[in-house]
């Protein structure tokens, strides 16, 4: 066999073998990543209104404005946790919170026999579940300055709100505290939002989040939303301490006659401990 033809055959064989090796090499699997954050709100101001239908088929509205000390005095229970899981750039996230306030002191709007003094027992659960997509680098406790992530998400928000209202009633010369009624409803809202983070240094990052839910689909009024901005500092290589300012608003009314509904506006700090896996 001529030497030139032999060299060509050997070269072809080597090329074919290299192609087979490349084809046989499995693609690198995308790792699973996850995070869990335990957090607690520190509301500097809490504004609530509760509208209930009384036994006399009237609407009674109570209003309360609480500062941090009053919120802590009335707080009976709070649980709040966030989590996310992703593979590649797609993932899911959840944000679960439950709060119970007892004997929240308020005032009633002028209406018939009500004297203006009232108390409201409140329990509120907010449960978010959404699909997310990540632009930029994976979330982490430690990174390089300028490293960022941008994560839009869409899903559902389930709200469970239960309120019981008692008010002072003028019965001649006697003041009596009587149960006026309750508002109770569990409903789901469509949810759209986005969150972002940017490393300012290897251990310090800025982050922000905003979302909106409801869009008026569940009642005459049906809207909720968050706005949050803060800083996170890495404590170790997989844990962040987060401190942020957060505003949350919720407004619902069924539009009935008589109507019932509930609104809550919370403005203050949030402290969280976030673990990356």
- For residue 271, give the nearest of 230, 237, 211, 239 by alpha carbon: 230
The more confidently predicted of residues 181 and 75 is: 75
* pLDDT for the residue numbered 165: 77
User: Which domains, from first to last, does the chain contain?
Assistant: 32-276 (2.40.128.90)
> Distances in Å between the alpha carbon of 270 and those of 58, 201, 230?
38, 22, 9
pLDDT tens for 51-91 read 888 778 888 888 888 999 999 999 999 999 999 999 999 99
Q: Which of 12-16, 140-144, 199-203 has the lowest mean pLDDT?
A: 12-16
The two three-digit tokens of residue 68, written as one number: 């941090």
* pLDDT for the residue numbered 108: 54
Average pLDDT rounded to a whole number, residues 106-125: 63
- For residue 262, give the nearest of 182, 158, 192, 188 by alpha carbon: 182
Average pLDDT rounded to a whole number, residues 94-109: 78
267 has a pLDDT exceeding 50: yes
Q: Which of 155-169, 225-239, 259-273 has the lowest mean pLDDT?
A: 155-169
The answer to whether the CB of 187 falls within 8 A of the CB of 217 is: no
> What is the rounded CA–CA span in Å between residue 158 and residue 172?
44
> What is the rounded CA–CA span in Å between residue 16 and residue 112?
92
176 has a pLDDT exceeding 50: no
């Amino acid at each position: 066999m001529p030497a030139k033809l032999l060299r060509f055959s050997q070269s072809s064989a080597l090329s074919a073998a290299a192609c087979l090796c490349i084809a046989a090499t499995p693609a690198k699997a995308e790792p699973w990543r996850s995070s869990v954050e335990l957090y607690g709100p520190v509301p500097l101001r809490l504004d609530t209104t509760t509208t209930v239908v009384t036994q006399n088929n009237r609407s009674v509205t109570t209003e309360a404005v609480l500062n941090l000390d009053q919120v802590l005095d009335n707080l009976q229970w709070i649980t709040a946790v966030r989590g996310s899981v992703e593979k590649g750039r797609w993932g899911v996230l959840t944000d679960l919170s439950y709060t119970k306030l007892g004997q929240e002191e308020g005032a009633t709007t002028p209406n018939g026999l009500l004297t203006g003094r009232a108390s409201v027992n409140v329990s509120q659960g907010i449960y978010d579940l959404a699909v997310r997509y990540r632009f930029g680098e994976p979330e982490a406790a430690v990174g390089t300055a300028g490293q960022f992530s941008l994560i839009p998400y869409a899903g559902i928000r389930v709200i469970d709100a239960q309120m019981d209202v008692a008010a002072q009633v003028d019965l001649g010369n006697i003041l009596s505290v009587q149960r006026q009624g309750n508002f109770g409803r569990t409903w789901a809202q469509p949810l759209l939002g986005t969150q972002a983070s940017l490393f300012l240094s290897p251990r310090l990052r800025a982050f922000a989040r905003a979302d909106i839910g409801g869009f008026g689909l569940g009642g005459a009024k049906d809207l909720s939303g968050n706005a949050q901005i803060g800083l996170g500092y890495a404590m170790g290589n997989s844990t962040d301490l987060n401190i942020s300012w957060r505003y949350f608003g919720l407004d619902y009314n069924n539009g009935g006659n008589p109507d019932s509904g509930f609104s809550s506006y919370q403005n203050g700090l949030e402290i969280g401990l976030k673990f990356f896996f």
